[in-house]
Chain A
Amino acid sequence: MELRLDPDLEKFRQEVRAFIGAILPPELKERQRRKVANNAALKDQLGWMRILNEHGRAVPHWPVEYGGCGWSPMQLFIFNEELYKADAPEFDWGGTHMLGPVIYTFGSDYLKDKFLPMIREGATYWAQGFSEPGSGSDLASLRTSAELVGDKFVVNGQKIWTSGAAHAGWGFFLVRTDKTVKPQRGISFLIIKMDTPGITVRQIPQINGEAHLCEVFLDNVEVPADQLVGEAGMGWTYAKFLLEHERTTSSFIYWSKRELERAKDIARGEYVGGRRVADDPAFRARFARTEANLLALEWSVRRVLAHEELDTPEAAAASVLKISGSELQQEVTMLQLDALGAKSLRFFDAAPVPPPEPTKTWPDYVPGRTTVALISRAATIYGGAKQIQKNILAKLAFGL
C-alpha cells in the first residue's frame, strides 16, 4: 500500500484540463454554469457529445474497440472531475454509462453497429424505462408486457419516472416476456424508438418547476424483435449489470465536489449582520464536516476503482458509494441554501436559459441553487431507495 498520487497523473490532469479548455465552446460553458435547473440545456449535452466524439473522447471508459481511450480508472476519474470543474455539459449518462456497456457486453453485432455509434455521437437522448407505478423499490414486480408476435414484440403497459422521455429519441426498457416463471426470470431488455405509434409521453410537473420526469404509456407498441438485447428473460441480470457496471457513478463525486466549491463561493459572498456566512462558526463547522465526508467519499470511490482487496464483497463497498454519495448530494445543496438564507426562497423559472443578469443583491450564484436542491431529494430515492440500499448492504456485509 502506497497512497501518494502518482506524479504522472498530475501531468495527465494538466493535459486534460488544457484539452477541455480548448474544445469547450464558451457559450456551452456559460449556459451550463448559469443554468437554473438540473436538466436545462439538454440540447447542449448532445452537442457536447458530438464535439467530444470528434476528438475521440465521448466514451473514454468503453473498451478501445468500441471507441474507448484505454485509460486507467484513475485517469477516467480525473477526466470526469475536470469536465465538471470546467462546467462542461453532463454526459448523456443513460446512453454512455448505462445502455452502452449493456450493448457491447450482451448485445448482437446488429445492436452494436446500430446503437453504439449513435450513443458516441450524441445522436439522441436516451430514456430509461424501468420503474412503473406499482413497481418502485420492488422493481422485479414490473408488469409492462412484451409478447412476441412474428418478428415483433407487442408492448403494453406503463412506465414512470422516465427522465427526459419527452425529449428522448430512443429508450431502453425492462419488459415482462414471461409471466410463468419467477418474476426476475421473466424480464427482458428491449430498445424502443420513442416515436413508435402507441407511445404517449406525459411530463410530470416537479417541485422544482421542471418537468423532466415523465410517464410513458405503451399501448400495443410494435418493436422489431432484433431490438431485444441479449437473451429473453435475462433483462434483470442485464439491469443489475448496468447498475453495478457504473457503481462509482452513483457516488456523484464529481458533481458534489463542484457544488461544494459553489457553496464555498456563496459562503464567502454572503453577509449576515456584517459578518461573512463563512465566518459563522456554526456554518464553518458544518461545512468542514461536509467537506471531510466528501473527501472520504472520494477515497472510497478510488478504492472501488482500484478493486482494493477487502474482507467483504466489493458490492458492499460500491453500495457505500450510493448511500453516502446520495446523502452528500443533498447535504451539499442544503449547505448552499443555508448560506443563502432567505434569499434561497426566490423562485427562478427553470424555463428561460440563461437566468436574469446578475446584480449585487442577486449574484450569479443564486439562480438555480434552490431548483437543484429541491430535486436533489430524489437522490436517496432513485436507483433503489436508501432504505433498500441498506437492506442490500446489511446482507452483503453481514449476511443478514
Chain B
Amino acid sequence: MDFAKSDIQTMLLDSADRLLSETSGVEYWREQRANAVGFDEGRWAQFAELGWLALPVPEAAGGLGGTIEDVALLNIALGKALATEPYVSTAVLSEHVLKQCADEGRAVELLGEIAAGTLRVALAHQENGAHPLAVEVADTVARPSGGGYVLSGAKIMALDAPSAGKLIVSARTEGQEGLGLFLLEAEQEGVSREAYSLIDGTRAADIRFNDVALPGQALLVSGNRAALVLREAIDRASIALMAQAVGAMEAANRVCGTYVQERKQFGAAIGSFQAIQHIMADMFVAAHQARSMLYHALANADQEEEVRSAAISAARIVIGEAGQLVSRNGIQVHGGYGLTDEYAIGHYFRRLMCIEKQFGDLALHTERFGDSIFA
C-alpha cells in the first residue's frame, strides 16, 4: 500500500493539469453544452495524443497498461474540470469489454482505433424498468440467422451514445442461455437513436433496434462470461465516476472556500460567521471521507466479485452522500447566486447529481451493500 504517486502518475496529472486548467470554467462548459456532441472534438483528440484513451489497455494490446489507480487519478482530474467527454463510457467501460473479446486480433484493432481517438464506443444495456445493477436482459433479443444475428429491442439512457461510432449492446440470444454482448455500428440500418442532453451537459440516447442484421463476429462475448465481463465493466465505470465525483467535490469546496471569503454581508465576509464555517467544515469532512472511500474501492477493484461489488457499493454510499452534502451546501453558501448558471457551483451540483444516479443510485447501492453484510 502506497499513497505516494508514481512517476507515471505524476506525469499523468501534470498533463491533465495543463490541458484541463486551460480549458475549463463556466464559460467553457456553457460553450461545450451548445455543441452538437456536448464536448470539444479537438480536446478529445488531445486526450488521444496524451495517451489517456490507451491508459487502461494492456501493453500487449498496444496500450499503456495503466492500473486502476492510474485511471482513477486521471478521472479525479476530469471530475475537477467537469469534463463532459465520454471518457468513462469509451475508455473505461467499453475498453474493458473489448479487452475480453473472444477474437483477440479484432480487439487489438478496435482498441487501437479508440486509442487514436478515431472511435468512440458506448454501452447500451439499460432497459426501461430494469434494475441498473442487473446484467440480465428482458426485451432486447438477438435471433440467430444464417451465420449472424438479427437484433430487436429497445434501450434507454445509453450514456454518451449520441457521439459514439459503435455501440456495445446487451441482448438475450434466442435459443441460448444467458447474455450476449454485441458490437454494432451506431449508424446502421434498423438502429434509431433519440439523443438528448442530461442536466450536466453530457449526452445520452434511447435506442431502438428494428431487425438489425449483424454478422457472426458482432458477438463479442457470450453466456456466463458476458455477464461477468459486463458486471466488471459496470463496476469499473462506477470507480471512474466516483473518482470524478471526488474531483468535483474537492473543486467545489475550493470554489466555496473562496466565495465565502469574498462575499460580504453585515459588513463582514460570510466565512467569518460560525454557521458558515461549520457548513464548510462538514463539506471538507465529506469530501475527505469520499476520497478515502474511493481508495477502499480501488484497493478491492481486483478482488473476487463478491468482495469487489460490496466494496464498490459501500464506496458509492459514502461518495453519493458526500456529493449531495457538498453540492447542496455549496449552493446554500452561495445564496441566490448558487442557483444561476453563471456560477460554477451549480455546474458541480448538476454533475454530482448525475454521477450519484448512474450505474445504480444511492438507494440501490445501499441495498446491495446491506445485503452483502447480512447475506
Binding site for B on A (CB under 8 A): 1-6, 9, 74, 264, 267-268, 278-279, 281, 284-285, 287-289, 291-293, 295-300, 302-303, 306, 308-309, 312, 316-317, 320, 323-324, 387, 389-391, 393-395, 397-400
Contacts and interface: CB of A to CB of B under 8 A. Distances in A.
Interface of B: 1-6, 9, 67, 69, 73, 253, 257, 260-261, 271-272, 274, 276-278, 280-282, 284-285, 288-290, 292-293, 295-296, 298-299, 302, 311, 314-315, 317-318, 321, 363, 366-367, 369-371, 373-374
Given A4-B299, A306-B1, A399-B257, A285 B366 contact: yes
6 nearest A-B residue pairs (beta carbon)? A299-B292, A394-B277, A288-B370, A390-B281, A398-B257, A284-B370
B304 to A, nearest CB: 13
Contact of A394 (B67, B280, B299, B321): B280
16 contacts: A2-B2, A267-B374, A284-B371, A291-B373, A292-B315, A295-B314, A296-B296, A308-B3, A316-B288, A320-B289, A391-B281, A394-B280, A394-B284, A398-B253, A399-B257, A400-B280
B374 A2 contact: no
Contacts of B67: 2
A181 to B, nearest CB: 27
A238 B246 CA distance: 36
Contacts, number: 160
A9 B363 CA distance: 35
Most buried by B among A264, A281, A285, A394: A394
B374 A398 contact: no
Given A74-B1, A399-B257, A296 B293 contact: yes
Given A293-B318, A400-B276, 14 more contacts: A1-B6, A1-B73, A2-B6, A3-B3, A284-B367, A287-B370, A289-B366, A291-B373, A293-B317, A316-B284, A316-B288, A317-B288, A320-B288, A324-B289
Contacts of B371: 284
A297 B292 contact: yes
B330 to A, nearest CB: 13
A326 B317 CA distance: 20
B324 to A, nearest CB: 13
Contacts of B363: 285
The B interface is mostly helix, strand or loop, or mixed, namely helix
Contacts of A393: 281, 284-285
B271 A320 contact: no
B373 A264 contact: yes
Contacts of A2: 1-2, 6, 67, 69
A265 B253 CA distance: 39
Contacts of A320: 284-285, 288-289
Nearest to B317: A292
Given A320-B289, A397-B281, A288 B257 contact: no
A236 B73 CA distance: 40
A322 to B, nearest CB: 10
A284 B365 CA distance: 12
A5 B302 CA distance: 12
A398 B281 CA distance: 9
Contacts of B299: 3-5
Contacts of B285: 320, 323-324, 393
A296 B6 CA distance: 23
Contacts of B369: 288, 291-292
Contact of A1 (B5, B277, B366): B5
A398 B280 contact: yes
A309 B289 contact: no
B239 to A, nearest CB: 12
Contact of A3 (B257, B271, B298, B318): B298
